[in-house]
Amino acid sequence: MTIRKEIVGELPLIRADRDRLAQILINILDNAIKFTPVGGTIAITTSPGEEDCLTVRISDTGVGIPKGEIPRLGERFYRADKTRSREPGGTGLGLSIVKHLMTAHGGRVIIDSTLGHGTTVSLYFPVFRESK
């Protein structure tokens, strides 16, 4: 598996709890690693986003998720892939935690996927603005 990163442009500052930010990224990367086969690729890109935000995208060339499953991915204990329910660490809480933490940071998460081709998770963090 190959993991590559790309930073586009000068990134704006965000206000975030360092530990929770790490938890968000670890949960998304953990899923990407679990569902990307040997020889696949995971790409992490960051860029100044539209609408005054920082965008972080994590894309993989994994198994993908059926379109009908995507709206339920933020639900607690929901698992799109039921065959992995007995694997260690597979509680179905990872994306629910991500969704909750992104909301707590004033951001949002969007998941796009094509079955058999991979998944992209886009995280949008509001840009830090000093109060006057």
CATH number, position 43: 3.30.565.10
Distance of CA 102 to the CA centre of its chain: 10
User: Looking at the domain assignment, is residue 5 inside a domain?
Assistant: no
Report yes or no on 88 lying in a domain: yes
Which residues constitute the domain of residue 87? 37-132
User: CA-CA distance, 26 to 24, in Å (whole number)?
Assistant: 6
**CA–CA gap between residue 1 and residue 3 (Å, rounded):** 7
- Section 39-64 average pLDDT: 93
Place of tokens 């949960």: 27
What total of structural domains would you count in the chain? Answer: 1
| Residue 49 belongs to a domain | yes
**Would you say residue 14 has pLDDT above 50?**
yes
Let me know if residue 111 belongs to a domain.
Answer: yes
Average pLDDT, the chain: 87
Stretch 4-18: mean pLDDT, rounded?
A: 93
43 belongs to a structural domain: yes
Mind listing the pLDDT tens digit for each residue in 60-101?
999 998 888 888 776 665 555 544 444 444 667 889 899 999
Does residue 26 sit within a domain? no
User: Does 77 or 35 have the greater pLDDT score?
Assistant: 35
Residue 63 lies in a domain: yes
Which class for 121: exposed (0-12), middle (13-18), buried (19 or more C-beta within 10 A)? buried
> Which pLDDT value is given to residue 49?
77
Residue 90 is predicted with a pLDDT of 63
- Confidence band for 7, pLDDT divided at 50, 70 and 90: very high
Q: Is residue 78 part of a domain?
A: yes
